[in-house]
Homo-oligomer: A and B are copies of this chain.
Amino acid sequence: MRENKLRTIWKQGGCVVNGWLAVPSSFCAEVMAHTGWDSLCIDIQHGMVDFQTAISMMQAISTTSVTPIVRVPWNEPGIIMKCLDAGAYGVICPMINTRADAERLVGTCRYPPAGFRSCGPTRAALYGGSDYQAKANETVVAFAMIETAEALANVDSILSTPGLDAIFIGPNDLAISMGLANSLDPTESKVVAAIEQILAACKRHGVKAGVHTGSAANAKAMIAKGFDFVTILSEARILAQAATALVADVKAAAAAAVAK
């Protein structure tokens, strides 16, 4: 079966540098797949992307060695299993607040007896190989998002869920649920402390720790802290930031030229 780069990198003690896709376009995904990310996550929750488009984006990513994963809209078996059948090698599931949530997520991602995933890896077997069915349970990564005060309170029971590979911190939602302003690069001490608390729990439970960041600087800081998986912005926001800066620069020159 084709390797899951996440597991390969983790075995080597490394941190996965993951890109984020909110634009519903297979060509945009292919452009991103040529810029160096280890993995790319198609965001079917907050991204402007639905399942049909996500398939084409997974195909685009599969033209390279980058590993495709998805963030699903909610902890619902229908959409999670569809994404896995389409070839996602990882699932990031939002709003895992309790042990029961985590168990349901893990069960959805695993074939029996480890779970209740239904058999039919229609594209996954093309992508992964003919031994997909046999090796999927040990290959696919299930990420629980820890992003509420409730999840924080339940972090140990969540992290001890059998089969849970990793967690992913959503700093925006975490801050909001704590009554604070949202930021992908949080500086509020309570949010910073919560993130550290979750990271420490991950280390304790042998669960990989991931986090969404808003800048290279913060991503590097998170790597230094020991995170195993960092995401930086999304392609839409990287583009928006770069284009805004570029246009402002050129328009200032255009304005100056008119003024002359």
Residues of A whose CB lies within 8 Å of any CB of B are: 12-15, 17, 19, 22-28, 30-32, 34-38, 43, 45-53, 55-56, 59-60, 62-63, 72-74, 76-79, 81-82, 85-86, 94-95, 111-113, 116, 118-123, 126-127, 133, 147-148, 170, 172-173, 176-177, 179, 182, 216, 219-220, 223-224, 230, 232, 234-236, 238-244, 246-251, 253-255, 257-258
Contact = CB atoms under 8 A, between A and B. Distances in A.
B119 A250 contact: no
B45 A81 contact: yes
A216 B45 contact: no
A127 B63 contact: yes
Given A48-B86, A50-B52, 18 more contacts: A13-B258, A19-B243, A22-B27, A23-B31, A24-B27, A28-B28, A31-B236, A36-B244, A38-B251, A48-B85, A62-B63, A74-B81, A112-B177, A118-B173, A120-B172, A133-B182, A230-B254, A238-B243
